[in-house]
């Protein structure tokens, strides 16, 4: 159980860091738009990727530096576009209504979630790190994995549905301008960091 708790704490320390994926989950929760789809994709991705890290498959990323560069530049371009769109939306006040979330198709939201998850080279570095930490526990690495995946589930469900619950409180147009502005600037900063890192 101690190994599982360690896995949960290490997982939370990595997952909770502010990034493009978390900003996207927060935004979709506040929009009350396909929150279940977004949370399910994030959780399924973590199950696949963290398990791959623990079983050693993520080490393949290290053997393919060209793939890492493609991910880096593709991710930077996507983040820059997402950031500019958020800044464009911040230009004028808007209200949070039922139509705001309904305008987004489930497929579009799913594709954005997948892109923000898999086009992030830092994600693969985190997976390699989690895998190397887990493997220090030998046969107990599966408990570490269970703890990490529990942390992922708690975080994404809490973030997505917590934002959805708070959306009525944050429904003022000025609040949305600030949210769009902050998300836009964050995405652009992450894009620059990816491109220059």
Identify whether the C-beta of residue 145 lies closer than 8 Å to the C-beta of residue 74: no
What is the pLDDT averaged over residues 173-177? 77
What is the pLDDT averaged over residues 24-29? 90
> Residue 85 — pLDDT band, cuts 50, 70, 90?
confident
Tell me the DSSP string of 162-186. Answer: HHHHHTTTT-SHHHHHHHHHHHHHH
How big is the CA angle at 152 (ends 129 and 55), to the nearest 5 degrees? Answer: 40
Place of tokens 């769009």: 180
> Residue 27 — pLDDT band, cuts 50, 70, 90?
confident
Residue pLDDT, tens place only, 37-82: 999 999 999 999 899 888 876 556 667 777 667 767 877 887 788 7
Percent of the chain exceeding pLDDT 90 equals 26
Average pLDDT over the chain, rounded to whole? 82
Q: Which tokens hold the place of 134?
A: 């887990």
């Amino acid at each position: 159980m101690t190994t599982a708790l360690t896995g949960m704490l290490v997982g939370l320390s990595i997952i909770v860091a502010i990034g493009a994926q978390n900003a996207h989950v927060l935004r979709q929760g506040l929009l009350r738009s396909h929150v279940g789809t977004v949370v399910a994709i994030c959780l399924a991705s973590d199950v696949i990727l963290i398990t791959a890290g623990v079983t050693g498959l993520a080490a393949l990323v290290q053997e393919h530096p060209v793939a890492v560069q493609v991910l880096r530049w593709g991710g930077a371009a996507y983040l820059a576009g997402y950031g500019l769109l958020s800044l464009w939306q911040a230009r004028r006040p808007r209200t949070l209504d039922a139509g705001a979330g309904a305008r987004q198709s489930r497929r579009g939201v799913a594709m954005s979630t997948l892109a923000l998850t898999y086009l992030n080279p830092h994600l693969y570095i985190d997976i390699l790190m989690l895998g190397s930490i887990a493997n220090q526990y030998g046969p107990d690495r599966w408990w570490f994995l269970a703890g990490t995946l529990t942390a992922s589930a708690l975080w994404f469900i809490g973030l997505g549905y917590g934002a959805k619950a708070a959306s009525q409180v944050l429904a003022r147009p000025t609040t949305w301008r600030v949210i769009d502005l902050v998300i836009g600037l964050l995405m652009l900063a992450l894009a620059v960091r990816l491109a220059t890192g």
